[in-house]
Structure 1
Amino acid sequence: MSDQREKIATNIRKGVLEYCVLGSLAGGDKYGLELAEELTARQLTASEGSLYPLLARMKTTGLVETYWEEGGSGRKRKYYTITEHGHLMLGGFREVWEAISLQVTELLGGQHGIDS
């Protein structure tokens, strides 16, 4: 990916990452590393290091809650769960995302890529 395209992708990811976390958690609770691996595999975040500060902010703002549970290795893991407020925010984001993505796609002439 060219530097310009990577910069565009990074800016978009930063804008939607919080909602991607909420979307993932809407499918079920996850511990931090599990969530980080999912988002990294989908190329939505570069590393765990950028995810944990976001999760802390999301907890402070009431979008997620945490609890500890023993994992398969006997070690306790911190799990994240979406709150009612998080579900409301995710629903609002979905509506806005659908409208904006439709408008952007139409403005770009229905193209799936960006011309160099």
Structure 2
Amino acid sequence: MKLANTQVQMRKGILEYCILTIISKGEVYASDIIQELKEAKMMVVEGTMYPLLTRLHRAGLVEYRWVESNAGPPRKYYQLTSQGKAFLEGLQMTWEQLTFSTNHIISNFEKPDES
């Protein structure tokens, strides 16, 4: 088993949650989402981002509107739907439970200092 494979799977598992959280702050352009993720050290590429945004749109969790741009083609700006807000609330509760449980387990099995 390779560590890198497990790390990728862990990141994929929380990417949707992170993206929905970023979009929940207000209307946002896809490159802004990518920038936020990169600043947070979440590895993501456009080839991953756009299919995920399309899937979230098809699921009714996000909607978008086209905005004309002076610097090129029109841009899609994303925002959460009411269904997306409810979905995100469920993910937030799940995240809190998972982090509590994980931290509990880790703290119970941490090695004491061998000084």
Q: CA RMSD in A?
A: 2.0
Structure 2 CA distance for aligned equivalents of residues 83 and 42 of structure 1: 25
In the alignment, which residue of structure 2 is the partner of 1:104?
102
Matched, 1:25 2:61: no
The correspondence for 1:81, drawn from 79, 82, 107, is: 79
Number of the residue aligned with 2:52 = 54
CA shift at 1:18, angstroms? 1.0
Q: Verify the 8 A CA contact 1:45 1:51 in the aligned structure 2.
A: no
Long gaps (5+) in structure 2: 111-115
Measured against aligned partners, the alpha-carbon deviations of 1:49-78 in whole angstroms (never above 9, x if no partner) come to: 110000000000001001011235264211
Q: TM-score, normalised by structure 1?
A: 0.83
Q: Which amino acid is the alignment partner of residue 80 of structure 2?
A: I
Identity of aligned residues (%): 33
Aligned residues: 109
User: Unaligned regions of 5+ residues in structure 1, if any?
Assistant: none
Letter matched to residue 55 of structure 2? R
Superposition misfits of 4+ residues, deviation over 3 angstroms: none
